[in-house]
Every structure is written in structure tokens, then in C-alpha cells.
Chains A and B, each alone.
Chain A
Amino acid sequence: MQVEVTFLTRRGADAVMRKSQTVTAEAIRFGRGTDNEVQFPDIRVALRAAVLAPREAGLVIERAGDEMLRVNGEGVASATVHPGDKINIGPYEVVIVEAPAGFDAALTVELAQPLGDALERLLSQSHIGLGSAGWTKRSLAWTLFSLCVLFALIVPLAVYPFGTVVHSSRSVPNFASIDLVNMSWNAGSIGNPHRFFAQNCATCHRAAFSSVPDSACLSCHSDVGNHVQASADLGPSGPKLQSMRCAQCHEEHRGVHSLVIQAQALCVDCHEQLNETAPKAGTADVTGFPAGHPQFRATLVVDAAKPTFTRQALGTKPPPEDHSGLVFSHEAHLIKTGLPTPNGHKVMVCADCHIPEPSGQGFLPITFEGQCHSCHDLKFDADLPWREVPHGDAAAVKIAVDDFYAHIALQGGVQDAAAPAFVRRPVGSPEQPTEAESKDALAWAAGRAANAMAIIWDDKRGCAYCHVTEHANGNFTVAPVLMRARFLPEARFDHSKHAAQQCTDCHDAPHSEKSSDVMIPGIESCIACHGSERADLKTQSTCTSCHLFHRQEFGPMKTANAGQ
């Protein structure tokens, strides 16, 4: 058959170049190979792709290779084609057209899918550069930035207004909010006593961008003691002390155990020049411990009557004296071989008289009834040993003695041979005394009373055994006794912490003969074991180891509306 084959080449949208040639063959073979009637010079086409041959039904196109033909869009192995049908072989489009005169068939061939620029195709398939696919640095950066802004900034700020202030009298509200979010701005562990409201930042942080006010602390700790007496004259240091905030010394967020700053520099800051800036305070300068700490000054009784006190440094020569008004010798009581007591022979030890108070810090006050009476009785008549004079009231002593003898004179039954008959009569006798007998009985009673009083008042066996007495112009007085319980009231020594030591390690009682001896040890006794706050080979000690800042006895340091 004779077929007109027209090759179409499109140039732009409108122009079409046509190149026709006549092919005479039994069948028109299409393919890449050069032996085809219509050669498709494209590697995308099989060597022999299709064959167009006339059949009884008409023109039939059949595939020759493995790939299906597409006739009018449908994939077929063979099909009868008529003018107007489109056949796609690889990238080529073959259109059957009306055969002009003299031809059995006509078709047009066009490269419908040109390859185009090879480099362009190569580049379009290439994804060079890490940012060309998937996450870019910018998208990752924005994502992480937004996440951080959300969780580190916005959420904690949003949660803040919902915290409530916790008072000690109210139960803590249970928050459902996430602990991690709530605590994500926490800059350090909360101290142990405050952990139960650690989630509610607003308990202490009352306003944003401002420090924790004193009122926050005072809402629970309302009567913390002052450091000085309210009337103390501290000079310029006074306002400085008053203006200090609780939080300056009590730092939160510094660990589960620490809330109080223990460093001595905090105290030394003021105390190293307090003697110059506030001389009326009477505080010696301290620059550190142990170096820079002055010798201890004990508060001693000067005159128990007024009373007046003094503060004197220990370890001086002559040594300081405490005038308690008592006559007492520790040495006489602590005899190693023992003492005869009403309860038998006894070797006395410190604990026999000095009873620790329940906390163990100090000792119970010394009283006559508690400590002395068990051995020192106040009997005044050897024949009648069942009466003692009252203790503690000098005026009552004479009255008691007078009354006593008057009573037994009246009662009778006295065994004394020198006594008047009336006095010696048996007890219960119904005789009434005559006037003379009364006088005699009175005189006898007065005489016996005088004898007793002579011992009580004027003899060393009487009150003067332990007390300082004065008997002048018919007046008998016992000097008041003032025994100090605390010789170092500005410090706080805890005996229970030193229980492993012996009393005599610090108090030289066995050698103290006079009650005016001050047996409180000086600083040299302490620094044998106690060193500075960073000591390696001694017990680390700082100011607060022995001294209290807040003294309850001085009243509250701040009032409730302080520090707004």
C-alpha cells in the first residue's frame, strides 16, 4: 500500500512545519530500528513497536513489542483504526488522516513528548542541598523557638496569677496543674519547711518584678523577736538594722536545708565596727571567730540588794567576782573522800545539785528546798529536834522561835531540869498558872528563844553558815541572794550538745572555795575544739552557732504591715 507520512514539527503555539514522504510497503512498521518504514529515533521506543497493516476490516494497528499501544487513549494490543484516530507509540503520536487521492492511507507523526533540555531535566530531578527537601534550618529554628517561648515563657506566666497565698491557718489548696510547668521557673530547691506550698509562688512573691516583701514572711512568722531592745540607741546602725528585709538573711531557693545564711560575714559586716558606730550599745567589735572575737564578758552581780550587775571580761587578774550574797564553797562539797550527810556517807558530784532543765540546754535554778535542805536542816534546839525555822524570811524566824518556846511553855512537858515547874508540868495538866508562874514561864521561854536566836543570828552555825548577815541595833538582816542562772546571757550554750564532756573540763568547781568565784570558762576553753566556719581540723563554728539573732525577749522585730 501507499501511505503518505507527514512529520509534524511544532514551532511555538501556531507554526507547524510539515514534511511529508511517501512510503510504499505491505505494512508500515513503526520502531526505533532503522529497518522500520517509519523510524522513531528515540530510545524510549522499542526497536519494533507497532505494525500498521491493511486487513479485511480496514487498517489495523498491532503492537509488535512488549508495550501496549494506546489508541484514542485506550491501551490495546491491536485495533482497527480510521481517519481521526490517535495512536500513541512511546512519545510519538500518530494520527490517521484522510488519505489524499492516490494514497491508500495517510498519517501524521509528531513527537508529542519531546525530551527537552537534558540539563534542565537533570537539574529538575536533582535535590542538591540539605534544605531542598524536608525541614530547613529556618523552619526548624522557628519551631524550636516557638516551642521554647510557649513552654518556657508563656505557660509559666499564664499560671502565675492562679497561685494563691497560703496562710498557716488554712489548708493548702490542692492544685491540679502540672508540677513541672509550675516549677519550671524555680531557680533552686525550696527549703524544707516551706515545701508544702512550693507550688504557689505567689505565697511569697506577692507582686511581679518586686522583691519578696516582709509582709509575706510576717503573714506566718508574725512575732519573730527583735535583735536589739526597742529602746536601744544604735546610732546610724539603728536605721540600717530596721531597714533590713527578712529575705536579706533568710534566702530561699538555696537548697532543701538552708534558709538562714550562716556565714559570719553577714554579722561581722555590722559588728566589726559597732563599738565605733553605736558605742551606747555596749557591744565589742567582732571581726571573726576565733581570731577577732573578744574575750567573753560574764554578766555578774555587783550588789544583789539593789540589784546591780556588771559585765566583766573573764580571765583577768584579779579574776572577776560574782557577789551572789551566798557563802558557799564548791570545794567543801566536792571532797573526793565524801561527806557525812543525814543519809549516810556520800561522795557528792555536780549532778547532785545541778539538775538539767528538760531541754538539756541549762540547769534548773538552785533553791534551798531543792538542793540544800536535804543536808542542811534549820533546827535550832537540840532537845527538840523536830522544829526548823522557816527559810527565806528573816523576820519570820524570830517570830517562829518565840512562838515555839511560848507554845511549849504553855503546853508543858519540858524535860529541862532548869525550867520552871509550870513549864515542866505534864502535858495536859489542867492547872492554871499564877501570875508569878506566868512570868517565870515567859522568862524561861524568852531565855530559850534568846539562846536559840543567838545561835541562829550570831553564830556561824546559824544563818551565817551560808548567808551574809548583819545584826545591828536589834535588826537582823540577811543579805539578799541573787544567783545568776546565765552568766553569758548574750550567748546560748547548749549543755546537752556537750554531754560527752565532764563538767570539770570547763568548770573548775573542785578548786573553788568561794562563792564569788566565777567558774565560767573564757574563750580559750571553747577554741580548743571550735574553729572558724571553714575549719578542717576543728568544729566549724559561726556566729549563729552560739548567738541568736532574733531574741524573743525584745518583742517583735517587725509589725505586720512592715515592708510593704
Chain B
Amino acid sequence: MRANVPADGDAPSRPLHEEDRHTSFLMYRRFFYLKVATAAVVVAIILYLVDVPLGEPYGGTWAGYVLGTVGALLILWLLWFGYRKRSYRSNQGKLEAWLSAHVYLGIALLFIATLHTGFHFGWNIHTAAYVLMVLVIFSGFFGIYCYVHYPRLITDNRGGITMPQILGRIAVVNDELRAVAMTVDDATARLVTAATERTEIGGSKLQQISGRYPNCATTRALHGLDEVAAHVTPERQAAYRQVRVLLDEKAQLLARARHDISYKGMMDVWLYFHVPLSFALLATLFAHVLSVFFYW
């Protein structure tokens, strides 16, 4: 990040670091890559309309080969984004720029590849590659939705603290519970032990995303406290109250942590389609191109 030091006497209306202010990856550089992608699609459509082949349009006409080559190169470049994303030390373009370009050119690819097919489909690897590409792009649409929708929810849910802080607080509450529950009856003690020793945070993919933990020991402990509440002797009331308060606090912390996990899970789960399918596409694309040259 460049530090722009304002000159003396400058009007204070501009923020200090104009270029570094966060913009959504969709609006990056005032929709620069959207404009690039739109131009590419328009050129592709014009090319498709201008070329009148001897037979019908398909991947093997002059325009079909141009669009196919462009599409294949686009696919390789789009795949490269996964590598660039993890090259933390790379200075070849900002990652923000890469993401914006990836999204818009990925959408452009949908049009370019569809024109390349000439709208001819069949039960073969060529259409299989196209279908895989469409699935990748549509899973990308869902990814865009997640990236636009969930960060706000995560921020609001966390309320200014981080996940490690939440977990730290839960651990501390666990310790406090164990101390405070020293004088409760055995049944309650067992519930509290279970609550402190079996804290489910995360779990299977489904559990993480759904945020539903039906076997939550803390919840069960709270219910158990309700049941014995009537039978608590006066001298133990204080202890039970304290236990209840701590259990409530822990339940809230757990809810926060689990929501956070759920939101982050949603922001990750679409990649379980997007990435594996794009590698399937890579293999099928290679077979598609090879078969064209093989059966030239």
C-alpha cells in the first residue's frame, strides 16, 4: 500500500489513501473488467454473425476455431487464478484486480464458448466439456452471491471480536463452570462436565453449514438445570444460579461461533463445486482439443 501524504494546503475532502480504499471486486476500477468482458462478448457475437460457413456454424468453422481457441486460453487463464491466489509474494497485478477480471471474463466465457458450439450438442465429451464449464460458471455465480452477501453477516455476527477470541472465552467459561459447579449435585455435575468436555464447535460439513447441533451438551445442561431447578436446596441456589449464568453465556458464545462457522462454510462450500469441476473441465477440455487434432 502506498502512503499518500497530503501536501500542505490540500483540500481535506479526499481520503488519505484514495486508491487503497476498499471497493467491491465487482466494482473494481469502476467496472473496468465488466467493460472489457462486454467488449469481448460483443466482438464474439459479431464474429459469429459475420462468418457464414458453407454448412452450419459449429466448432470447426473458421469462427468456431477462433472462438474455441480464445475460450480455451480463457479457461487456462481462469484456472491460473487459483495459483495466483496463493502466490502471496507475487506482485503481478493486485489480487483484487485478478478476482475482478476472473469473475467478469468467466461470465464472458459463457457466451464465447456457447457461440463456439454453434448450438450443436450431443452425447459426447465435447458437450461434456461444455456442460462442465457451465456448471463451473454457475457455481461461480453462487460464489459471487456468497461473497456479496455473507461478509456483512459475518461482521455483524462477530461484533468486533475474532474467532480465536470467542474460542478463548469459551475455554475460560468452561474453566469457570467447572469451578462454580463444584458444589452442585452429581446429576447436574455430570451435565456440566459433559457441557465442558464435549463442546461441539464445527464438525461434519453439513453440521458446520447448517449450524445445527442437536447433540449440544450445553443445551442439554441448560434443560437439565431447568428440570432440577425446583428441587434445589436454598444453600445451593447461588451455585446453581452461577452455573446457569455461565451456561447461558457459553450458549451465546457458542451460537456466535457456530454462526460464524456457518457463514464461512457457505463462503467456502461453493468452492467444493467450483474447483473440482474446473479440474474435471481441464481434463475434458484437453481430451476435447486432442480429439479435434486426433481426428483431424
Contact = CB atoms under 8 A, between A and B. Distances in A.
Interface of A: 32-34, 41-44, 46-47, 65-66, 115, 117-119, 121-123, 125-135, 137, 140-149, 152-153, 156-157, 180, 183-189, 201, 205, 208-211, 251, 254-255, 258, 261, 263, 265-266
8 pairs of A and B residues whose beta carbons are closest in the complex: A148-B283, A119-B171, A144-B280, A152-B287, A140-B276, A126-B201, A118-B171, A127-B202
Contacts of B264: 129
B277 to A, nearest CB: 7
Contacts of A140: 272, 275-276
Given A125-B199, A125-B200, A43 B272 contact: no
Given A46-B186, A184-B125, A133 B55 contact: no
Given A130-B205, A188-B120, A65 B186 contact: yes
Contact of B167 (A46, A126, A134): A126
Contacts of B154: none
A130 B208 contact: yes
Contact of B171 (A46, A122, A187): A122
A185 B279 contact: no
Contacts of B20: none
B124 A184 contact: yes
The CB with the most chain B CB atoms within 10 A, among A128, A251, A254, is that of A128
A210 B296 contact: yes
Interface residues of B, number: 70
B201 A135 contact: no
18 contacts: A43-B177, A122-B170, A122-B171, A122-B174, A125-B200, A128-B208, A134-B204, A140-B275, A144-B277, A147-B280, A153-B283, A186-B122, A187-B292, A188-B122, A201-B295, A254-B55, A263-B54, A265-B54
Interface stretch (B28-36, B37-45, B101-109, B188-196): B188-196
A198 B182 CA distance: 82
Given A127-B203, A130-B265, A144-B276, 20 more contacts: A41-B182, A122-B171, A125-B198, A127-B201, A130-B208, A130-B269, A141-B275, A145-B276, A145-B280, A145-B282, A153-B283, A153-B286, A185-B294, A187-B60, A187-B126, A188-B58, A188-B122, A251-B55, A261-B54, A265-B52
A42 B182 CA distance: 7
Contacts of A266: 54
The CB with the most chain B CB atoms within 10 A, among A34, A122, A132, A210, is that of A122
Contacts of B181: 43
B280 A128 contact: no
B200 to A, nearest CB: 7
A177 to B, nearest CB: 16
B128 A152 contact: yes
Contact of B280 (A65, A148, A188): A148
A96 to B, nearest CB: 25
B239 to A, nearest CB: 12
Contact of A133 (B196, B205, B295): B205
Interface string B151-194: 00000000000010001101110110110011101100100110
B295 A118 contact: no
A67 B226 CA distance: 24
B167 A122 contact: yes
B199 A47 contact: no
B55 A130 contact: no
Nearest to A133: B204
B272 A137 contact: yes
A132 to B, nearest CB: 7
B124 A128 contact: no
A43 B193 contact: yes
The CB with the most chain B CB atoms within 10 A, among A34, A65, A188, A251, is that of A188
Contacts, number: 177
A396 B208 CA distance: 113
Contacts of A211: 296
Contacts of A123: 167
Nearest to B132: A148
A2 to B, nearest CB: 28
B268 interface: yes
Given A122-B174, A126-B167, A210-B296, A133 B186 contact: no
Nearest to A147: B280
A126 B208 CA distance: 11
Contact of B196 (A43, A65, A258): A43
Contacts of A205: 295
A32 B189 contact: yes
Chain B interface, >50% SS class: helix
A141 B83 CA distance: 14
B59 A187 contact: yes
Contacts of B183: 32-34, 47
B287 A128 contact: no
A108 B271 CA distance: 57
B16 interface: no
Contacts of B269: 130
B263 to A, nearest CB: 12
Given A185-B125, A188-B58, A118 B276 contact: no
A258 B295 CA distance: 19
B123 interface: yes
A17 B209 CA distance: 48
A132 B202 contact: yes
The CB with the most chain A CB atoms within 10 A, among B170, B171, B175, B271, is that of B171
B56 to A, nearest CB: 7
B293 A209 contact: yes
Contacts of A132: 202
A473 B196 CA distance: 141
B290 interface: yes
Contacts of A152: 125, 128, 283-284, 287-288
Contact of A119 (B125, B167, B283): B167
B124 A130 contact: no
Contacts of A125: 198-201
Contacts of A144: 276-277, 279-280, 283
B200 A185 contact: no
A262 to B, nearest CB: 8
Contacts of B192: 43
B266 to A, nearest CB: 10
B261 interface: yes
A551 to B, nearest CB: 22
A251 B61 CA distance: 12
B291 interface: yes
Contacts of B172: 118
Nearest to A255: B56
A268 B35 CA distance: 41
Contacts of B198: 125
Nearest to B208: A130
Nearest to A266: B54
B201 A133 contact: no
B124 A137 contact: no
A110 B95 CA distance: 57
